Amino acid sequence: MNKFKIKDYRKYDIASLSIAIGLNFSMFVTEIILCWIINSISMMSDAVDSFGDALTYSVALYAVVKLQNKKEDRSVILGIVQVVIGCFILEEIIRQYAINEHDDVQPMFLLIISFFALAVNLLCAVLLYLGSKDKNVKASFWFSAIDCFANAYTIIAAIIIWNHSNPLPDLIGGIIFFLLVVWAAVEIFVKNYKYKKISKT
């Protein structure tokens, strides 16, 4: 059972969101640099997704700090950010596939970075899960939890590529990141709609 007092929830949310922002932005910088070396669509997608998560957590942090009486409106912004990030991921997947940049994936580096990405998202998910019942914080937890599944697939894809020298799992990984990002956004929109509908009754 969570024993934080209500006033402590806000301080915890601010600290956990700040940590999540720092970790995801660090992963974005690391992955965006390494994806050109590793030549991986999955890693590029995860890098863009990490940047989107950092923006998402920033919006949630702003809501927790500044907009305590209007938090329900900010979860929609979190969903919109995720849709925009999903569009960037899809565009990059199409671009790289069209020019065959995905054919020379470096599976060993992809495997190592994917483990780090999974650890970061697991840590963020746990920190945010232990926070308050604030809608923005819970929405942020949802994004981190979804990313863990994508990271787990990327680890499996790296192993397959390593053993079979087939870059197709990497391309599929990029598509999975895109679908999960859009799915998470839709979930936020649906939950926000249901929340507003309940609030009016």
* pLDDT value, residue 132: 65
User: Percentage of the chain surpassing pLDDT 70?
Assistant: 82
CB 42 within 8 A of CB 173: yes
Per-position DSSP letters for 23-88, written without gaps between them: HHHHHHHHHHHHHHHHT-HHHHHHHHHHHHHHHHHHHHHHHHHH-TTSHHHHHHHHHHHHHHHHHH
Whole-number mean pLDDT of the chain? 80
